[in-house]
Amino acid sequence: MLSKIVRTVANQLILFILVFGLYVIAHGHITPGGGFQGGAVIVSGVVMLLVAFSSHELKKSLRERTLSIVESSGAIIFAVLAFAGIGTVFFYNFLVGTPIFGGVPDPGPGPGNIWTGGVIPLMNFAVGLKVIAGLSAVVLAIALFSSGEEVEE
């Protein structure tokens, strides 16, 4: 565990990193970005918390059962969205034209509208959840194994 100044600054900075990461995930169909890139940004914030507080302290907040449930639900949501348009073809974009995230932008260059894209923003959220939970679990497991021999259930 590092000194009090580092711990206070890390407590304040994690909020801005979380907001920026969620912005990159949510605007994946308008600006460059998407599920994988936003997930990597948030995992780098978790690694900053792991360095400021020791892994012994972080183990009480990020339990392994919660991370496992979140990652599995991200994968299940992705598979359900892929199978939902099976009437035409596998991975069919069935939400273009309907009121939920339907809407087609004007052809050619121009400012983007967030209520477009069909099934793409929902898939971005599913993949973002999967990447965050998976990589956080890996980093936490390696840090716990090499510092102290704790029992992991």
Name the minimum Å distance from CB 35 to other proteins: 9
Beta carbon of residue 43, minimum distance to other proteins (angstroms, whole number) = 10
Under DSSP, is residue 30 helix (H, G, I), strand (E, B) or coil? coil
Between CA 101 and CA 108, with CA 103 as vertex, the angle to 5 degrees is 125
Residues 69-108 that bind other proteins (CB under 8 A): 71, 75, 78-79, 82, 90-91, 93, 96, 102-105, 107-108
Give yes or no for residue 130 binding other proteins (CB under 8 A).
yes
Cα 53 vs. chain centroid, distance in angstroms? 22
Least Å distance, CB 59 to other proteins, is 13
Q: Is the dihedral of CA 22, 25, 29, 31 positive or negative?
A: positive
Cα dihedral sign for 95, 91, 32, 105? negative
Of the listed pieces 1-9, 10-18, 55-63, 129-137, which binds other proteins according to CB under 8 A?
Answer: 129-137
Check binding of 119 to other proteins (CB under 8 A).
Answer: yes
Distance CA 70, CA 131 (A): 10
Closest CB to other proteins among residues 21, 134:
134
Query: 101-128 burial, b for 16+ CB within 10 Å, e for fewer?
Result: bebeeeeeeeeeeeebbbbbbbbbbbbb
Interface with other proteins (CB under 8 A): 28-32, 34, 36, 64, 71, 75, 78-79, 82, 90-91, 93, 96, 102-105, 107-112, 116-120, 123-124, 127, 130-131, 134-135, 137-138, 141-142, 144-146, 149-152
